[in-house]
C-alpha cells in the first residue's frame, strides 16, 4: 500500500492541468505541453481509455494485472489476474478452516455397578489380536491419549515433585528468553549486591527497569538522605543541612518560583565571589525553616490549607511536619462538622464454642473408648504390589473431583473460627518423584494399555467447556474450506453423535462383558464400512510401484484426501506421485517453530507446510446394512443365561386367606362361582 500511494502521488504531480479533471473516453483536446496529453487504450486490453499520464495510476486498478493471491502471506504461491482473485478463494490452498467441534468424555465410575468396566477389560484383551477395533472404543482411546498428554502431575502432587537445580535453571532461562525480567530493590546502596547475587543465580538484571524506578523515586530518596543528615548532625553545622536541602531540591525541582530557583543555583556554585543572601528565614519553599509558621500568619486559612495539601510530601520529607503528630497539633481542614464514630461488632461466636454443640468433644463418657496403638502395613495383610496406586486412575479421579466438586481431594476446610477440618491424602507411586513438567502420558509410556474413560460422550455446556474443564476434547483438524461442510456432516453429525446404540449397536449384555457389536449403517452408493485407524499404510507389499508413473498419477486422482496422505507414506515413488496433486488437492498451513540461539534467546518463526486433510470420501446418504438383528446374537451370546422355571408361581390375590384368617375373594373362587 505504501508503494502504491507513493506512485499515485508521483503520477499526480506529473499530470497535466486538463488531464487532472478529464474522464471522457472521447476527449478531443489538442496535445499541449503541461496542459494535456494523448488518450491511449490499456496495454493489457481491459478496454479502458485514459490519458497517457494516468497509465501508472490505471495499473493499480486494472483487472488484468497479475497480482499475488489475497492469502499470499499464509503460503499461497499463486499469481493471477486481479479480476480472478475472488473466484480463486474457493480453491485457494491457503483458505483453510480448523474444526472447533467439542465434546465431553468423563472418567469411568468404578463405583457404578452398571458401568462398562467388564466390557472394557475384555475388549482390551481382544485388541491385541485384531486389526479392526469398534468405533466407540477407538475414539475413546484417541481421546484418552490426548488427555494424558495434557494432564500434568504437578497440580495434584506438589509434594512428589523432584527439586533439581538443573531443571530450575532451565525454567529461568526460558523466562529470560521470553523477555522476562527480575524485580530488584529500589535502594541504590543495594544495587551492586543485588546484581552480584542475581548473576550467581543465573538471572539477568534489566537496567532499563532500574533507571525507570530510579527516576520515579529519586526525589523521595534525596529527601530521606537530607533528613537523616539533619538528624545525625543537628548541632555541628546548623546551616549545612539547609544547604543540602536547597542543593538537592534545586537539582530536581521542575521550575517552581523564580526567586527560589535563582537562590538554589547560586548555592550550588562553590567558590563564588559574592555569597548569595540567606533566605532560609524568609523563604516560602518547603525546605525553609519555619515556613508553616510564617505562612500561617501571612496567608488565609484556605490558601494555607491548599499549600499544605500540595506540598505535603515535601514537608514530611524535610521534617517540617511530623508523620504522627500529637492531638494538639492535628491539621484541621477548614470548617468541617465532626462525624461520630460508630463501632460495629460483627464477630460471630463459632458454633463449636457453644457447650451443647461441643460437649461431645470434651465428654469422655459420651465418646467411644479407644486406645493408642501403633500399626504397620504388614498388619493390613496387603502385598507389596498393592502398596502402589495406579497413576492414571488416581490422577483422573483427582482432576474429576476438582472439576465436579470445585476443589481437590482432602482439601482443608474451616468449619468455624475454632476448628479446621484438615484433610490429608497420601499417594504412593512407583514412578515418583516426578519432574515439574511431567505429564501423565510420560508416566504411562511403558504401562499396559487400559481404558479409563467412558464410551459415551456428552455435549459441552456453560460450566464444562474447553476453557475450564480438562475432560473437554477438541476436534482441531484442519480442512480446506470446501471440505469443511462435508467433514462436519459425516463425522460429527452422522457418526459421532449417533454412535452409541444407533450407528453402532452393542449386545444388551455388554455391561456383563460381552464384546459383540455391529454397524447398522453403510453408504448407499457403494458397499463399504466405517473403520477408525490411524495408520492405513502399514502391512503388505508395494505391488503398484511396477506400474508406469502416468498410470499411478491417474489412479491417485480418484482417491480422497485421507487416502492420499496415507499413500504418500508407502514409498518414495508414491510420495512423488502424490506430490503432483498438492497444488490442486492439498492445502498449505503455517507451522510455528521455535528457534533457540546460542546466547539463550529464542524466536518463533512460521513455516509454510503442504499437506492433505483427513477427509474421507463424501457420503450423501446412508442405508441399513443387511445384517441379522441383535436378537439373533442373544441366542448364542455366552453371557445370556436363561432362567427356566418349572414350579408354578401363584399370582397376586390367588390365596384364600390373607393375614389373620381374613377371607378374601380369589380369582379361582371368582371363576368357580360364575360356573
Which DSSP string do the residues of 373-412 spell out, in sequence order?
A: ----GGGGT--GGGGSPPHHHHHHHHHHHHHHTSS-TT--
What band does 193 get if pLDDT is binned at 50, 70 and 90?
Answer: very low
Of the two residues 285 and 336, the one the predictor is more confident about is 285
Dihedral class, residue 202 (left if φ above 0, else alpha if ψ from -120 to 50, else beta) = left
Domain boundary among 589, 611, 633: 611
Q: How far is CA 639 from CA 2, 115, 512, 514, 515, in A?
A: 77, 16, 7, 7, 10
Tell me the residue range of the domain where 567 lies. Answer: 544-611
Domain boundary among 78, 95, 112: 95
**Does residue 560 fall inside a structural domain?**
yes
- Of 39-48, 325-334, 433-442, the range with the lowest mean pLDDT is 325-334
* Tens-digit pLDDT profile for residues 243-279: 444 444 444 444 444 444 444 444 333 343 444 444 4
When divided into structural domains, the chain yields a total of 2
Instruction: Name, of 28-37, 338-347, 407-416, 480-489, the range with top average pLDDT.
Output: 480-489
- Whether the per-residue pLDDT at 79 is higher than 90: the answer is yes
**Does residue 143 fall inside a structural domain?**
no
**Does residue 475 fall inside a structural domain?**
no
Please tell me the predicted confidence (pLDDT) of residue 273.
44
* Tens-digit pLDDT profile for residues 144-180: 999 999 999 988 888 888 876 455 656 665 555 444 4
Q: How crowded is the C-beta side of 516, counted as CA atoms within 13 Å?
A: 18
Alpha helix locations (H) across 571-616?
572-579, 582-585
Find, among 101, 11, 10, the residue nearest to 485 by Cα: 101
The Cα angle at residue 543 between residues 540 and 546, in degrees rounded to 5: 155
**Does residue 243 fall inside a structural domain?**
no
Alpha helix locations (H) across 233-354?
238-252, 258-268, 291-298, 301-310, 312-317
Is the model's pTM score more than 0.85? no
Please tell me the predicted confidence (pLDDT) of residue 181.
38
Residue 246 CB contacts under 8 Å (≥ 6 apart), including other chains = 263, 264, 267, 280, 285, 287
What band does 130 get if pLDDT is binned at 50, 70 and 90?
Answer: confident
**Does residue 588 fall inside a structural domain?**
yes
**Does residue 371 fall inside a structural domain?**
no
What is the distance between the alpha carbons of residues 495 and 497, in angstroms, rounded to a whole number? 6
What's the CATH number where 46 sits? Answer: 3.30.40.150
**Does residue 553 fall inside a structural domain?**
yes
Please tell me the predicted confidence (pLDDT) of residue 76.
92
**Average model confidence (pLDDT) across the chain:** 76
The Cα angle at residue 120 between residues 116 and 126, in degrees rounded to 5: 145
* Tens-digit pLDDT profile for residues 440-454: 999 999 888 899 999
**Does residue 225 fall inside a structural domain?**
no
Domain boundary among 63, 95, 127: 95
Q: How far is CA 437 from CA 153, 161, 163, in A?
A: 8, 10, 12
Amino acid at each position: 500500500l505504501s508503494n502504491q500511494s507513493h506512485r499515485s502521488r508521483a503520477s499526480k504531480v506529473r499530470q497535466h492541468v486538463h488531464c487532472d479533471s478529464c474522464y471522457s473516453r472521447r476527449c478531443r483536446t489538442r496535445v499541449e505541453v503541461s496542459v494535456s496529453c494523448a488518450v491511449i487504450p490499456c496495454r493489457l486490453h481491459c478496454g479502458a481509455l485514459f490519458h497517457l499520464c494516468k497509465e501508472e495510476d490505471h495499473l493499480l486498478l486494472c483487472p488484468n494485472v497479475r497480482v499475488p493471491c489475497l492469502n499470499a502471506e499464509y503460503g499461497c504461491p499463486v499469481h493471477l489476474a486481479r479480476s480472478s482473485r475472488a473466484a480463486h478463494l474457493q480453491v485457494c490452498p491457503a483458505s483453510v478452516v480448523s474444526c472447533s467441534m467439542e465434546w465431553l468424555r468423563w472418567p469411568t465410575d468404578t463405583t457404578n455397578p452398571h458401568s462398562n468396566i467388564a466390557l472394557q477389560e475384555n475388549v482390551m484383551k481382544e485388541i491385541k489380536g485384531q486389526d479392526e477395533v469398534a468405533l466407540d472404543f477407538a475414539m475413546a482411546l484417541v481421546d484418552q491419549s490426548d488427555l494424558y498428554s495434557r494432564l500434568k502431575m504437578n497440580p495434584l502432587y506438589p509434594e512428589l515433585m523432584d527439586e533439581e537445580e538443573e531443571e530450575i535453571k532451565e525454567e529461568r532461562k526460558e523466562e529470560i528468553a521470553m523477555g522476562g525480567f527480575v524485580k530488584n530493590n529500589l535502594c541504590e546502596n543495594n544495587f551492586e549486591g543485588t546484581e552480584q547475587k542475581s548473576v550467581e543465580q543465573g538471572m539477568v538484571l534489566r537496567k532499563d527497569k532500574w533507571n525507570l524506578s530510579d527516576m520515579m523515586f529519586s526525589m523521595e530518596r534525596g529527601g530521606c538522605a537530607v533528613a537523616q543528615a539533619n538528624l545525625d548532625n543537628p548541632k555541628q553545622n546548623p546551616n549545612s543541612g539547609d544547604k543540602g536541602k536547597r542543593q538537592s531540591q534545586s537539582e530536581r525541582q521542575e521550575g517552581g518560583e523564580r526567586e527560589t530557583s535563582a537562590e538554589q543555583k547560586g548555592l550550588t556554585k562553590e567558590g563564588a565571589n559574592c555569597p548569595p543572601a540567606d533566605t532560609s528565614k524568609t523563604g516560602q519553599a518547603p525546605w525553609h525553616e519555619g515556613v508553616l509558621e510564617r505562612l500561617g500568619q501571612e496567608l488565609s486559612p484556605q490558601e494555607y490549607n491548599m499549600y499544605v495539601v500540595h506540598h505535603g510530601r515535601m514537608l514530611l520529607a524535610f521534617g517540617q511536619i511530623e508523620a504522627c503528630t500529637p492531638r494538639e497539633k492535628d491539621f484541621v481542614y477548614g470548617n468541617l462538622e465532626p462525624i461520630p464514630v460508630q463501632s460495629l461488632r460483627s464477630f460471630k461466636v463459632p458454633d463449636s464454642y457453644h457447650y451443647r454443640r461441643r460437649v461431645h468433644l470434651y465428654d469422655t463418657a459420651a465418646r467411644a473408648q479407644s486406645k493408642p496403638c501403633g500399626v504397620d502395613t504388614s498388619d493390613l495383610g496387603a502385598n507389596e504390589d498393592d502398596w502402589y496406586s495406579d497413576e492414571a486412575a488416581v490422577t483422573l479421579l483427582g482432576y474429576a473431583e476438582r472439576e465436579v466438586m470445585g476443589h481437590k481431594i482432602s482439601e482443608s476446610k474451616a468449619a468455624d473460627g475454632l476448628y479446621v477440618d484438615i484433610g490429608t491424602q497420601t499417594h504412593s507411586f512407583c514412578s515418583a518423584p516426578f519432574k515439574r513438567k511431567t505429564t501423565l502420558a510420560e508416566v504411562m509410556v511403558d504401562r499396559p494399555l487400559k481404558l479409563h474413560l467412558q464410551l459415551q460422550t456428552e455435549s459441552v455446556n456453560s460450566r464444562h467447556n474447553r476453557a475450564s474443564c480438562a475432560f473437554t476434547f477438541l476436534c482441531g483438524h484442519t480442512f480446506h474450506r470446501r471440505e469443511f461442510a462435508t467433514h462436519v456432516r459425516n463425522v460429527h453429525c452422522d457418526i459421532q453423535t449417533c454412535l452409541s446404540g444407533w450407528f453402532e449397536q452393542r449386545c444388551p449384555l455388554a455391561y456383563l462383558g460381552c464384546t459383540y457389536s455391529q454397524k447398522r449403517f453403510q453408504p448407499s452408493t457403494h458397499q463399504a464400512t466405517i473403520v477408525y485407524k490411524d495408520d492405513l499404510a502399514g502391512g503388505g507389499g508395494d505391488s503398484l510401484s511396477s506400474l508406469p508413473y502416468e498410470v499411478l498419477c491417474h489412479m491417485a486422482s480418484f482417491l480422497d484426501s485421507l487416502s492420499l496422505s496415507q499413500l504418500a507414506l508407502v514409498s518414495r515413488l508414491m510420495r512423488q506421485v502424490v506430490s503432483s496433486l498438492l497444488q490442486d488437492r492439498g492445502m498449505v498451513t503455517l507451522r510455528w517453530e521455535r528457534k533457540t540461539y546460542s546466547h539463550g534467546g529464542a524466536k518463533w518463526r512460521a513455516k509454510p507446510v503442504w499437506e492433505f486433510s483427513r477427509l474421507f470420501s463424501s457420503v450423501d446418504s446412508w442405508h441399513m446394512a443387511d445384517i441379522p438383528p441383535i436378537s439373533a446374537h442373544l441366542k448364542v451370546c455366552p453371557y445370556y443365561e436363561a432362567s427356566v422355571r418349572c414350579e408354578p408361581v401363584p399370582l397376586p390375590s390367588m390365596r384364600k386367606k390373607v393375614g389373620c384368617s381374613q377371607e378374601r375373594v380369589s380369582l379361582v373362587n371368582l371363576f368357580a362361582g360364575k360356573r
